[in-house]
Amino acid sequence: MPESELRTRVQQRIEEGRLPVAFVRLVNAEAGAGGHECPVCDQPVKRDKVEYDPRNANHHLIFHYSCYLIWQRECARRIRAERANLSERQR
């Protein structure tokens, strides 16, 4: 799936509340257990792949690496925008 489509999915799922906006500091990366569906691409993280499990998000989410990166980039963009808005309102 193209990165642009994955990015659009992340944006939609954040808006729908299906994905949180969270900056993750700790991620478990381990062999895929199989059967966990990635919340971005809706494909299972197969046993021959590495699954990425962010530990400080308040949700139990298992991502493919590229999907995880796209989600974190979108979260960072939104967090920066929110901080800029707060700063602007305080002036």
The two structure tokens encoding residue 12:
């939609």
The whole-number pLDDT of residue 45 equals 95
Q: Which residues of 48-83 are buried (b: 16+ CB within 10 A; e: fewer)?
A: eeebbbbeebeeebbbbeebbebbbebbeeeeeeee
Q: What is the mean pLDDT of residues 81-86?
A: 84
Position with higher pLDDT, 72 vs 59: 72
This prediction's pTM: 0.88
Segment 80-84 mean pLDDT: 89
Q: How many Cβ atoms sit within 10 Å of the Cβ of residue 45?
A: 24
Please report the pLDDT score of residue 57 as a whole number: 56
The CB density around residue 47, as the number of other CB atoms within 10 Å, is: 11
